[in-house]
């Protein structure tokens, strides 16, 4: 099953970006796809070189492209996929996502450290916010197949896309997969007592509520996996902090990939990284795959 065949990998010579490029090349090789290694140069750097070294822009870019080409060739080695090189001028988060949109990339791969003091930075977060394709944040210098995938869904329209993306990877990588919906039910809200909504404390009401969620989860999985030979395990968790519940599931299952939707339920959802998505991004230590809504994805 071909999932991601046209891939862009952000490359800036850091160990994180080099690990991300290796992962992009691995995925492309399995998909018989292609990789474009994109290096972004800031306009300020170009201006400085022009002013102090009196070098024209084309000469500067030629030197940069040569350096990028040499290093990426070393990383690719004799692999089945050799990356194309693209040097762009601008801000990385916009240059990378614009290029991904221009070539109709199916995946953007970035590297990020997972240590608490080196939490995923602004560039990765803005790329997820701006991208029209899924964004894979490669952490812990992950390499090789994924073994355990957790797909976090919220039962919105985006959940089906999240589940389908995770299921396709699980099939391709022969990975186990868990689908989790963590929610904050009415009976756990402290204000419920003040509202005097007695039915929410009733056991029959709670049972019906839980049954309805279970049915919605089953429907989501059936709709998303009808063309996939996989039957992911659904889990519904009640928690006052749904993000913590998802992160606990990732930790307890030793997941190496967390998949979730990149937009929150906002009127500005096309441009705003959802609060839940951002907290999952910042709180997880494994690699993550952020999936955009259909209206911003590639047709």
User: Does the pLDDT value for residue 25 go beyond 90?
Assistant: yes
User: Does the pLDDT value for residue 97 go beyond 80?
Assistant: yes
Q: How far apart are CA 210 and CA 188, in angstroms?
A: 13
Across the chain, mean pLDDT equals: 85
Sheet holding 34-41, edge to edge: 84-89, 34-41, 6-10, 107-111, 135-138, 287-291, 257-261, 148-152, 176-183, 233-238
pLDDT level of residue 297 (50, 70, 90 thresholds): low
Q: How far apart are CA 5 and CA 39, in angstroms?
A: 20
Looking at domain 1-144, its CATH architecture is 3-Layer(aba) Sandwich (3.40)
- List every span in the chain annotated with CATH 3.40.50.620: 1-144, 148-299
Q: How far apart are CA 60 and CA 158, in angstroms?
A: 43
63-94, pLDDT tens digit by residue? Answer: 999 999 999 999 999 999 999 999 999 999 99
User: Does the pLDDT value for residue 273 go beyond 60?
Assistant: no
**Fold that domain 148-299 belongs to in CATH:** Rossmann fold (3.40.50)
Per-residue confidence (pLDDT) for residue 1, from 0 to 100: 46
Q: What's the average model confidence in pLDDT over 168-172?
A: 87
Contact 162, 259 (CB under 8 A): yes
Per-residue confidence (pLDDT) for residue 269, from 0 to 100: 41
Per-residue confidence (pLDDT) for residue 81, from 0 to 100: 96
User: Does the pLDDT value for residue 206 go beyond 90?
Assistant: no
Distances (CA, A) of 198 to 185, 202, 203, 240: 14, 7, 11, 19
Per-residue confidence (pLDDT) for residue 209, from 0 to 100: 86
Contact 26, 144 (CB under 8 A): yes
**Tokens describing residue 121:** 């930075």
User: Does the pLDDT value for residue 143 go beyond 90?
Assistant: no
User: Does the pLDDT value for residue 226 go beyond 80?
Assistant: no
pTM above 0.85, yes or no: yes
106-138, pLDDT tens digit by residue? Answer: 999 999 865 544 455 678 888 998 899 999 999
């Amino acid at each position: 099953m071909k999932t991601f065949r046209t891939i862009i990998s952000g490359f800036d010579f850091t160990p994180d970006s080099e690990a991300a490029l290796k992962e992009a090349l691995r995925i492309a090789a399995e998909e018989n796809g292609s990789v474009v290694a994109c290096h972004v140069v800031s306009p300020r750097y170009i201006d400085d070189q022009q002013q102090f070294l009196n070098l024209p822009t084309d000469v500067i870019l030629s030197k940069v492209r040569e350096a990028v080409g040499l290093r990426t060739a070393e990383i690719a080695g004799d692999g089945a996929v050799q990356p194309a090189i693209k040097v762009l001028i601008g801000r990385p988060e916009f240059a990378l996502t614009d290029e991904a949109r221009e070539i109709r990339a199916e995946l953007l791969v970035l590297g990020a450290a997972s240590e608490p003091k080196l939490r995923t930075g602004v560039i990765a977060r803005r790329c997820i916010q701006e991208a029209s394709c899924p964004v894979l944040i490669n952490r812990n210098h992950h390499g090789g197949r994924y073994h355990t995938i957790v797909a976090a869904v919220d039962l919105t329209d985006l959940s089906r896309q999240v589940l389908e993306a995770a299921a396709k990877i699980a099939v391709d990588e022969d990975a186990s997969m868990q689908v989790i919906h963590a929610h904050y039910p009415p009976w756990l809200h402290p204000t419920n007592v003040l509202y005097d909504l007695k039915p929410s404390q009733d056991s029959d009401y709670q049972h019906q509520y839980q049954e309805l969620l279970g049915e919605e989860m089953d429907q989501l999985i059936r709709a998303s996996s009808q063309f996939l030979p996989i039957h992911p395990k659904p889990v519904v968790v009640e928690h006052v902090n749904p993000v913590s519940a998802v992160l606990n599931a990732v930790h307890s299952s030793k997941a190496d990939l967390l998949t979730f939707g990149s937009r929150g339920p906002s009127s500005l959802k096309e441009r705003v990284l959802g609060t839940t998505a951002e907290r999952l991004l910042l709180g997880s230590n494994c690699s993550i795959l952020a999936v955009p809504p259909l209206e911003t994805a590639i047709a």
